[in-house]
Structure 1
Amino acid sequence: MGMFNTKKPPAEPANNGTEQLRRLLISRNRRRAMQAIATDINDVAAEKAGRELARNIASNMAGAGASPDVVTSLAKSTFANLSAPNIKVITETALQSFADGGDLSVDGKLRLTAYLCGDHKTYSAERDAIVLADIEEPPTYTHPARWENPNPAIRAAQAELRRVQAQAREAR
């Protein structure tokens, strides 16, 4: 008589974005309370909303023809004077329900992904996956035009000096 193994292997968890988020949240919950995680997510959302509001106010104050540097400077000073918005994006109860197997709104999953994975990843609702975020490439640096003295006599003397120095380098 042989013994039969009647134990079933443990079910493999689905490898989709929702399950990945759930596992990340549970592992983070071991180190921090759900209330602290919810507070952090809400604080980040409030700061982002405040920055957008400050930028809108600054662009309206500066006008349509203002340079981006002026708008940024105005936005920084405006942001410092704004009161902190009270934004509730996610609650501790919603996070705990999600960790226990419930569902979370798409906006909640987006914010949770940004909190757990950083801004370089985002949640794709269409694919139910955590994907790389489309990060704008930084603008390439272009050297400014060479400065020239406004006095034509000095400008001509400097041009002659550069020509003589170039001939001396070639002669070596």
Structure 2
Amino acid sequence: MKQIAGILVSSLLLLPLAADASISTKANSSNTSTYVSQITNTGPWSSIRVQYTNDKTLPILTLTKTDSRDYLFSDRTQLVTDGVASDLKLMATYRNPTGFRTQTSSLGRYEFTPTQIASIQNAKNVSLQVSFRNTSTITWKVSEKVLNEWKEILARGQSQVSLQKTPISIDNHSPITGNQP
């Protein structure tokens, strides 16, 4: 009986680790790190990926949809945080045959703005209104699990970027004069 209880307790201790399983950090040789959240087969998407590199770039959202039709992602896609909509900047869109005659993988890459980063980090509800050039708009409510991963990725990347932007050549011992900048 004690063995079963021990196994059960051990299993419960490992549960929080499984929740972060799709978040990864990749270190590059140029002294930068890339933080990635990738989730597959959720909602209408084959894959959703948010990545943030601490090299002063903005985070990228990549949506992939594998289906029998081509989806031509549009620049009229919006991020909706707590009921407030803002346009996502379309960076690129691709279509790739998957090898199956009836399947095509369509991909759209979008860039978040600093305002959108802040709104996601404080949001309770987030959804995407993804527009396409050749079919109707898909509205997708971001699940709590996905939203929490996005918040973590954005916090990790932003803290690294803000540290890089901190001025380090400040002389705190300079005399005070009347002509301060």
TM-score by length of 1: 0.19
Higher Cα radius of gyration: 1
Greater percentage in strand: 2
Higher relative contact order (CA 8 A, sep 6+): 1
Greater percentage in helix: 1
